[in-house]
Every structure is written in C-alpha cells, then in structure tokens.
Amino acid sequence: MKRRGILNAPLSGHLARLGHTDLVVVADAGLPVPPHVPVVDLAVVLGLPAFTDVLDALLDEVVVEHAWISADAEAGPPAGWVDARLAEPAERVPHDRLKAMVGDARVVVRTGEATAYANVVLRCGVAFPV
C-alpha cells in the first residue's frame, strides 16, 4: 500500500503518465467533458469531495507551470480558491474557451463540487531546471 499521496489507482496512473505541457482539469460536478477525454470521477454526492481538497491533492503531486479559470469564476469563491494555491494567479479566459480547452486535456478529475465555475485547467511543468 502507498504510504502517502493519491491512493485512487486510476487517478494515480493518469498522473504518472503526465509530461511537460500536458493539461489536467479539476472540474466541478457539472462541467461537460467530451467523450474522448478520460475522466476520473471522484464525485460521491454533491459537495463531496470538495474542489479544494482534490486540487490540494493534485498540487502535491504535479508540477504546474500555468493555470486557467473561467472569467466568470471571479464573481464567486473559485477564483480565490485557485489563486491562493498557485505561485501566480490563474489566467482568466471566457467560459466557452475554458470548456473548449477540456477537449485537449489528458485527464479530467471530476469532484462533487456544487459551486458554479469551480473548474481549473492546469498545464504541467517539470520538476527540474530547464
């Protein structure tokens, strides 16, 4: 058994295969995902697990060099949730553009979050100097 980190086997496998510039999405319970994009669905009921809990777990495992959130997230708590956890604030993009970016993701991690616009696209970096 793993001593620490992400225990969910499918999610752990997806994360292990990520490379530089790959996109990972942490999504609320309602974000549409194109059929060709793999989804690790962690949602149990609305609210569980929370977006922030899942984002924290991913940020402990993945190097992130850039992030995008919906400009609509600015009106509620999701913008603060994301920005508080990153070295630089997430780039704001129109919500339709964010949804289009989901089609390029290597994996989407669906949470049980029921807060509007609680979605972030993360671009992977590398864990060594370039």
Binding residues for substrate: 28, 95, 117-119
Which of 14, 20, 36, 66 is an active site residue?
20
Is residue 20 annotated as part of the catalytic site, yes or no?
A: yes
- Supply angle C-alpha 116, 101, 17, rounded to 5: 105
Torsions phi, psi for 61 (to 5 deg) = -110, -25
* Sign for the pseudo-dihedral over CA of 41, 30, 84, 50: negative
The Cβ-side half-sphere exposure at 64, using a 13 Å CA radius, reads 26
CA 105 to chain centre: 10
Distance (Å, rounded) from C-alpha 125 to C-alpha 122? Answer: 9
DSSP one-letter code for 99: H
Per the annotation, where are the binding residues?
28, 95, 117-119
Residues serving a catalytic function are: 20
